[in-house]
């Protein structure tokens, strides 16, 4: 398993007819499952993420003189942010690789998303947040059963604490740019846009 660096896959779908690789019965990011690194779909950890609307911004488009302007409304994901896509993919791969405990430094949305997907997968979640993080984010993680560790300091201090805990307790580090599969889930909104 490759850890410590993101995997950046490049697809050339021009010759493969992209519509043939899309599962049109699936109304989530997993409609593109054949392009994702998950080998066994039984390990898919999903809450129905993705399939969020793309909205035209006509007034702003006219004011700015742009020919085309759209907004992807990721607030409609199950955990309320685009983090749901990346963490659905990351937790799915962790499950496939036999990992049972994940840890993440966060100041909000990533912690809630990881907590939700770990709960769905039956995995332990440890979330490390700055103490000054709004209580709503802390409570969200705790509602999903995550262990919450508060740190006096900034997100960089939380990242340092995550490295210590991951090394001593064997938790898998889900930090941005540390976990190699989150990027694959995050970029699926582009596939939706291209195939709309």
59 falls within a domain: no
Inter-residue contact 22 to 51 (CB < 8 Å): no
CATH number at residue 111: 3.40.50.1100
Largest Cα–Cα separation, the chain: 56
pLDDT of residue 59: 95
**Confidence at 23, pLDDT banded by 50, 70, 90:** confident
Whether pLDDT at 192 is above 60: no
Inter-residue contact 124 to 149 (CB < 8 Å): no
| Residue ranges making up the domain that contains 136 | 98-173
115 falls within a domain: yes
Give the list of residues 6+ apart from residue 65 with CB closer than 8 angstroms, or none: none
**Residue 61: enclosing H or E segment and its boundaries?**
helix 58-64
111 falls within a domain: yes
28 falls within a domain: no
67 falls within a domain: no
Count of Cβ atoms closer than 10 Å to residue 38 Cβ:
19
Mean pLDDT of 85-107: 97
Whether pLDDT at 13 is above 80: no
**Confidence at 184, pLDDT banded by 50, 70, 90:** confident
**Confidence at 14, pLDDT banded by 50, 70, 90:** low
**Given its phi and psi angles, is residue 175 left (phi above 0), alpha (psi -120 to 50 degrees) or beta?**
beta
Whether pLDDT at 168 is above 60: yes
Mean pLDDT of 144-172: 97
Whether pLDDT at 63 is above 70: yes
Whether pLDDT at 6 is above 90: no
Mean pLDDT of 14-32: 79
Whether pLDDT at 189 is above 80: no
**Confidence at 1, pLDDT banded by 50, 70, 90:** very low
Mean pLDDT of 164-191: 83
Number of domains within the chain: 1
Question: What average pLDDT does the chain have?
Answer: 89
Cα–Cα distances (Å) from 159 to 35, 84, 99, 118, 150, in that order, read 31, 20, 20, 19, 12
102 falls within a domain: yes
76 falls within a domain: no
Q: In what order do the strands lie in the sheet with 147-151?
A: 147-151, 124-130, 101-105, 172-173
83 falls within a domain: no
Whether pLDDT at 62 is above 60: yes
């Amino acid at each position: 398993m490759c850890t410590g660096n993101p995997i950046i896959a490049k697809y050339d779908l021009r010759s493969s007819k992209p519509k043939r690789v899309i599962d049109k019965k699936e109304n989530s990011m997993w409609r593109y499952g054949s392009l994702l690194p998950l080998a066994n779909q039984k390990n898919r950890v999903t809450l129905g993420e993705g399939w969020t609307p793309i909205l035209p911004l006509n007034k702003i488009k006219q004011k700015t003189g742009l020919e085309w302007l759209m907004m992807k409304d990721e607030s409609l994901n199950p955990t309320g942010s685009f983090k749901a896509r990346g963490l659905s993919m990351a937790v799915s791969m962790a499950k496939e690789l036999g990992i049972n405990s994940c840890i993440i430094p966060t100041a909000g949305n990533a912690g809630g998303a990881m907590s939700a997907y770990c709960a769905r997968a039956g995995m332990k979640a440890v979330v490390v947040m700055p103490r000054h993080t709004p209580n709503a984010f802390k409570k969200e993680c705790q509602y999903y059963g995550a262990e919450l560790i508060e740190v006096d300091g900034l997100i960089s201090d939380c990242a340092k604490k995550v490295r210590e805990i991951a090394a001593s307790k064997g938790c898998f580090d889900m930090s941005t740019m540390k976990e190699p599969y989150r990027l694959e889930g995050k970029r699926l909104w582009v596939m939706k846009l291209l195939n709309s």
